[in-house]
Chain A
C-alpha cells in the first residue's frame, strides 16, 4: 500500500513568490491534515479536511495560506505571497477515521520550504 506522498520534497523560493504544496493521502483515507514544523519547534497543526470539507482550519496562520481538497482526494496548500517566516517543513498526514487509539495518523515525508 502506498503511503502519504508529498510534492515537492524541497522548495526554495524568493519572498513574495507563490508556492503550492501537494499531498496525496493514502487511498480511502477521508481525513487529511496539514502540519508545519518551524526549525526546532513543535509540529504545529494547520488544518483538517474530512473528504473535501474543511473541518478545522484553526491553525492556519493567515490569509496568505489557502488549502484545498477538491474531490476529496489529494490536497494542495498554497502560500501566496510567501514570507520569510513561512520557512519550515510542511507535513501532511491522513487517517481513515478520526484520530484516536484505533485510528493511526500516517505522515508524509514533508516538504521543506525555504523562503529567501
Chain B
C-alpha cells in the first residue's frame, strides 16, 4: 500500500552543524511533499514544501530536494540552532481516485536534537 519511509528516527547534531532527514515514498503519482515541524508540546507546522516539477527549494537555512526517479526527498537544515530541536515529519500527497480527494501519507518522524 501507500507508505512513506523516513530516516533516521533520531538525529543529534552539534549546534552549527547540518542535519539531513531522508524520506522515500511508494506512490509514483505523488506530486507534492510538505515537511512539518512539531516542537515539544506544540502543533505540527508546515515549514517547507516542494512540488514534483521542482528538484530543490530553499528557504533561509532549510532546503528540500526531490529525486522523482528514485522517489526520494530530503530535508536539509544548515547552521543548526537549539530552536531547530523538534520532531520533523515528511509527507507525500496522494490522490485517492475513489473519493476524488487528496490526503497526506506521513513518515514516522525524526526527532532532531541540536546540542549547544
Question: B-contacting residues of A (Cβ < 8 Å)?
Answer: 3-4, 33, 35, 37, 40-45, 48, 50, 55-56, 58, 91, 98-101, 104-105, 107-110
Contact = CB atoms under 8 A, between A and B. Distances in A.
A55 B100 CA distance: 8
* Dominant secondary structure of chain B at its interface with chain A: strand
B43 A110 contact: yes
A33 B93 CA distance: 14
Contacts of B102: 98-100
Contacts of B91: 43
B20 to A, nearest CB: 19
B43 to A, nearest CB: 4
B4 interface: yes
Given A42-B106, A58-B96, A105-B104, A4 B89 contact: no
Contacts of A40: 9, 108-109
Contact of B4 (A4, A42, A50, A100): A42
A55 B104 contact: no
B103 interface: yes
Contact of A107 (B36, B100, B101, B103): B36
B21 to A, nearest CB: 14
Contacts of A107: 36, 43-45
A48 B45 CA distance: 19
A69 B58 CA distance: 38
Contact of B43 (A3, A42, A55, A56): A3
A45 B42 CA distance: 19
Contacts of B60: none
Contacts of A98: 101-102
A101 B51 contact: yes
